[in-house]
Amino acid sequence: MTDQTTAVTGGRAHGRAGGQAGGGAAEPRDEPDRRADAKPRNNRAWLLVLPVVVSVTFTALIPLMTVVNYSVQDIFSPNDRIFVGLEWFRAVTRDPEIRAAFLRTLLFSAQVLLVEIPLGVAIAVAMPRRGFWVSVALVVVALPLLIPWNVVGTIWQIFARADIGLGGWTINHVLGIDFNYTLDSTDAWLTVLIMDVWHWTPLVALLAYAALRSIPDPYFQAAQIDGASAWATFRRIQLPRLRGVLTIAILLRFMDSFMIYTEPFVVTGGGPGNATSFLSVLLSKIAVGQFDLGPAGAFSLLYFLIVQIVSYVFFTVLTRTGR
């Protein structure tokens, strides 16, 4: 307590000294020494972080520790459990179904990135830069982002249905292509992929649009004077400016698509067969459906490890782009 009081007084004294120095503007004499001595060391601001610490402890840390505990035991009931060491991790990493789901999720994320990033940039480039249509374009592009995940799933579940859905019916009866996402695994995959593209390309487009808007007009005027083609303008002026936001967009979209759950759960439920059972869908089946806490715990931790690594890369990139 005494320490804190001294520290606060020290801080105030330093503030006053700073004010005086600012007024006189010609007294740099013993400034460095005083700063080193009287630097305010009031750590009470840490108390403001306490609510976050408490809520994270209860919503994340304690559940995570419990999951770790689950992952090393075979649990029949709270009083009837056996320690099995790392056996569940061995079983989970070698399970063909889980390995297939892992590859499937990676493939899905790769396809999502391959489609959404170029498409988002194309939309951003095509969007108007000024005038009345800017607002219209922004609202239209942002609309899918405002819809909750399960509603997106429901919309597409009905839209893609061959009998009553507008999209599914059109493909079957107007284009004459046999399309049924409840029976055909390719159709189901495409439905989920196109749904994700519809839902999340706007995010990439808006990020890219914001970056493009920040390019000063003289760049484009110079390009015009030099007689640069539209492609050269894009390649040499716009694309370099997009580097930062595209890195963020790629990481965000990778994370989200790698953790996708609600939409495929609502549209296909992971089917037909295993065609769209991504890691999260399979995990919830094991954890909540079969109530196999041990394997589900081990599975979650490995899944968490991957997400954790990508998050850290994301965090590092995000904090370093500012520098």
Partner 1 sequence: MPDWMVWTPPTALVFTGLALLLCVMAVWARFSPPVARRGFLRIETDRGDRLYIGLISAAVVLAGWIAVTDLSMWLALACALLVAVVIGIWG
For residues 287 and 222, give the distance between their C-alpha atoms in angstroms, rounded to a whole number: 60
How many residues touch partner 1 under the rule CB under 8 A: the total is 25
**135 touches partner 1 (CB under 8 A):** no
Mark 210-249 with x for binding to partner 1 (rule: CB under 8 A) and - for no binding.
----------------------------------------
DSSP summary character for residue 130: S
Please give the Cα distance from 129 to 228 (Å, whole number).
Answer: 19
Residues 7-66 that bind partner 1 (CB under 8 A): 62, 65-66
DSSP state of 57: I
Tell me whether residue 78 or residue 148 sits nearer to partner 1 (CB atom). 78
Q: Which of 297, 299, 303 is nearest to 73 (CA)?
A: 297
Give the integer Cα–Cα distance in Å for 105 and 302.
14
- Collapsing DSSP states into helix, strand and coil, what is residue 73? strand
Provide the minimum distance between the beta carbon of 54 and partner 1 in the complex, in angstroms, as a whole number.
16
Tell me how far apart the alpha carbons of residues 263 and 310 are, in angstroms, rounded to a whole number: 22
CB of 76 to partner 1, least distance (A): 11
Bridge partners (DSSP) listed for residue 101: none
Stretch of residues binding partner 1 (CB under 8 A), selected from 3-11, 71-79, 207-215, 260-268 = 71-79
Q: Give the separation between CA 193 and CA 182, rounded to whole angstroms.
A: 15
One character per residue 85-124, x = contact with partner 1 (rule: CB under 8 A): xx--xx--xx------------------------------
The identity of residue 191, as a single letter, is T
Using rule CB under 8 A, residue 69 touches partner 1? yes
Q: Using CB under 8 A, which of the segments 67-75, 194-202, 232-240, 279-287 binds partner 1?
A: 67-75
Tally of CB atoms within 10 A around 278: 26
Binding region for partner 1 (CB under 8 A) = 62, 65-66, 68-70, 72-73, 75, 78, 81, 83, 85-86, 89-90, 93-94, 302, 305, 308-309, 312, 316, 320
